[in-house]
């Protein structure tokens, strides 16, 4: 069983565990319920991007234009103060402010998704099968029966491998 952790601020048992990475260093904080509430950690409304943004360099550059959302009217000064966007349309005009923060937090700013290896190998097998079946059809039409037999055997081997892989999954 895991060791009972104590609150970083008092000696009560910790029930809230926070992990933050700052400058490639992991910082862990363990809090009891009362200390977590006092710091606003357990209140979803208490957390804001402002806390994160305050740790980054988001002070306006000299001569930087004021950004305003065309839909809700939120200004860049309001965004810096609250750390919250006003509406869904805010993401586009505030992209120059938000993107550097996201780049620091994540490996990238575009989600590319992942394809399971099994699905990838099956997709390749399907494409290979289609190519072989097309080649087999051309060989039959050209009456190149020895070549057609090779394609037939390759198709049979791939189908067996796919079936065996499906049984293992």
Into how many domains does the chain fold? Answer: 3
Check whether residue 2 and residue 42 sit in a common domain. Answer: yes
> Residues 27-41: pLDDT tens digits?
777 888 888 777 666
Check whether residue 63 and residue 91 sit in a common domain. Answer: yes
Check whether residue 152 and residue 130 sit in a common domain. Answer: yes
Check whether residue 24 and residue 63 sit in a common domain. Answer: no
Say whether pLDDT at 131 is over 60: yes
CB neighbour list of residue 66: distance below 8 Å, 6 or more residues apart: 75, 76, 77
Q: Between 10 and 133, where is the model more confident?
A: 133
Quote helix, strand, coil % in the chain, to nearest 5. 50, 10, 40
Say whether pLDDT at 46 is over 80: no
Q: Between 90 and 169, where is the model more confident?
A: 90
Mean pLDDT of 97-108: 70
Say whether pLDDT at 47 is over 70: no
Check whether residue 106 and residue 148 sit in a common domain. Answer: no
Q: Choose the final residue of a domain: 95, 110, 125.
A: 110
Q: How confident is residue 5, by pLDDT bands cut at 50, 70 and 90?
A: confident
Question: Which of 78-87, 108-117, 147-156, 157-166 has the highest mean predicted lDDT (pLDDT)?
Answer: 147-156
Say whether pLDDT at 145 is over 90: yes
Check whether residue 34 and residue 74 sit in a common domain. Answer: no
The span from the CA of 28 to the CA of 25, in Å, is 10
Check whether residue 71 and residue 105 sit in a common domain. Answer: yes
Containing structural domain, residue 127: 117-168
Phi, psi dihedrals of residue 28, rounded to the nearest 5°: -115, 135
Check whether residue 43 and residue 5 sit in a common domain. Answer: yes
């Amino acid at each position: 069983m895991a060791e009972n952790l104590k609150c970083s601020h008092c000696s009560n048992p910790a029930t809230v565990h926070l992990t933050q990475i700052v400058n490639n260093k992991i910082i862990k904080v363990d809090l009891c319920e009362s200390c977590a509430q006092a710091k606003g950690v357990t209140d979803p409304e208490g957390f804001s991007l402002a806390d994160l943004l305050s740790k980054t360099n988001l002070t306006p550059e000299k001569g930087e234009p004021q950004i305003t959302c065309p839909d809700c009217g939120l200004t860049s000064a309001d965004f810096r103060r609250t750390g919250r966007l006003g509406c869904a349309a805010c993401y586009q005009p505030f992209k120059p402010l938000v993107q550097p923060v996201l780049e620091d937090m994540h490996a990238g700013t575009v989600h590319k998704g992942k394809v399971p290896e099994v699905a990838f190998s099956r997709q390749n097998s399907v494409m290979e099968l289609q190519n072989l079946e097309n080649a087999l059809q051309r060989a039959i039409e050209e009456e190149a029966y020895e070549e057609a037999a090779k394609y037939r055997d390759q198709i049979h081997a791939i189908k067996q491998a796919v079936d065996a892989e499906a049984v293992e999954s």
